[in-house]
Amino acid sequence: MEWLALILLIPYIYYITAISLSLRKISVYKGSVASEVFISVVVACRNEERNLTPLLACIAGQDYSSERYELILVDDNSTDSTFKLASEFKGVKNIKVLRSSLHGKKGAVAEGVRASSGNLIVVTDADCIMSPGWLRTISSFWSSSRPALASGPVGLPREKGFFHRFQEIEFLSLQGITAGTAAAGNPVMCNGANMTFTKDAFLKSLADLHPELVSGDDIFLLQSIRSRSGKISWLESVDAVVTTGSSGTLKSYMKQRARWISKAGSYRDSYTKVIAFVTFVTILLELTLLVAGFLNPVFFLVFLAAFVLKSVPDIMILYNRMVFHKKKNLLRFFVPAQLIYPFYVLSVLIYWLFTRSEYTT
């Protein structure tokens, strides 16, 4: 009877395997379409004086005509020298530096989009860096397929220590889900650190972005566009990769993940809800089997079987992203990360329960 618990894994194995198969069908975009579409790069900034200079250098160093893009920096009520630093930057020909009249990233991004001169918007974060071919690749991709929204690859820097390796593994897994579901026509995630959309699509979605929540500027936009049958694509290209900073402390990492969880109750896309529910049930099953093992040792064997069955589709997705990001060295951390993951999710849930009032405005 104890082994019947493994039946609960079937939905997870089915969905994650299907996503991994879709992920394998993605081809790398070669950027063969010459394009000079005008791009508005929008960056919301809050207390980013330490990170802004590398980002500005990357934007200024794009191998895309300076006449064909603008940079719009929106200061979200910073208390440091972010606004001054941005205002004094002269490396980009077309630059606008604004003070947000609202509070929060969503309001800042909205003000930046409204102030844009073009219809193609590219958003990223102030702590990101990218290659010189970033805008050129995005422009070419958009011109060739004309999506209402396109997600681009995001990576974490290579850092030492298991804590950072765990973050990289989780992040690559999330990127795999993002890319695989988009390729399958059922996108469930995107990342505001590297996202392209049309101004028209964004303005039509403003009412769906849940301004009462501090998080979700990216996924609520995706769900809104998807609800109107807008085309959503994944851009697979090394030149399109954006690197964002990892969390330096466990507290900041937990807070970020709790902020992500806070928006889950407002999801309205049924497929997204199914994936989230199936994943939660699977993690809960692992924890239950492990605890039950202390009461009846046979459950340790059931846990081991569940661990292996869950790990097979997980590693299919993860390995695909490791290859793309050239991080196959992370494979040796897969097993310990998988063992820790259920406890990590439980800890984030508990942390969120005690801090959830922080994630609403």
Question: Three-state SS for 111?
Answer: helix
What lies within 8 Å, CB to CB, of 111 at 6+ separation is 74, 98, 100, 101, 102
Residue with tokens 């026509």: 185
For the chain, the maximum distance between any two Cα atoms, rounded to a whole number of angstroms, is 70
Q: What is the pLDDT of residue 81?
A: 94
Q: What is the pLDDT of residue 356?
A: 83
State which residues of the chain have pLDDT below 50: none
Q: What is the pLDDT of residues 196-235, one digit of tens each?
A: 999 999 999 998 988 888 888 899 999 999 999 889 999 9
Q: What is the pLDDT of residues 256-266, one digit of tens each?
A: 888 888 888 88
Q: Where are the domains of the chain?
A: 27-164+187-248
Closest by alpha carbon to 359, among 105, 42, 112?
A: 105
Computed on alpha carbons and rounded to an integer, the radius of gyration of the chain in Å comes to: 21
Question: Three-state SS for 230?
Answer: coil
Q: What is the pLDDT of residue 35?
A: 78
Residue with tokens 């109750």: 265
Please provide the CATH number assigned to the domain covering 27-164+187-248. 3.90.550.10
Q: How does strand 154-155 pair with strand 120-125?
A: unpaired
Q: What is the pLDDT of residue 361?
A: 66
Q: What is the pLDDT of residue 291?
A: 94
Q: What is the pLDDT of residue 1?
A: 65
Tokens for 147?
Answer: 């999506």
| Residues 224 and 205: beta-carbon distance below 8 Å | yes
Q: What is the pLDDT of residue 227?
A: 92
What lies within 8 Å, CB to CB, of 357 at 6+ separation is none
Query: Going along the chain, which residue ranges are E strands?
Result: 39-45, 69-75, 95-99, 120-125, 128-130, 149-151, 154-155, 195-198, 232-234, 242-244
Tokens for 331?
Answer: 């494979």
Phi, psi of 128 (to 5 degrees): -105, 155
- Could you give the CA distance from residue 129 to residue 38 in angstroms, rounded to a whole number? 21
Q: What is the pLDDT of residue 102?
A: 85
Q: What is the pLDDT of residue 347?
A: 93
Work out the burial of residue 88: count CB atoms within 10 Å of its CB; fewer than 13 is exposed, 13-18 middle, 19 or more buried. Answer: exposed
- Could you give the CA distance from residue 140 to residue 148 in angstroms, rounded to a whole number? 14
Q: What is the pLDDT of residue 204?
A: 94
- Could you give the CA distance from residue 286 to residue 184 in angstroms, rounded to a whole number? 28
| Residues 48 and 78: beta-carbon distance below 8 Å | yes
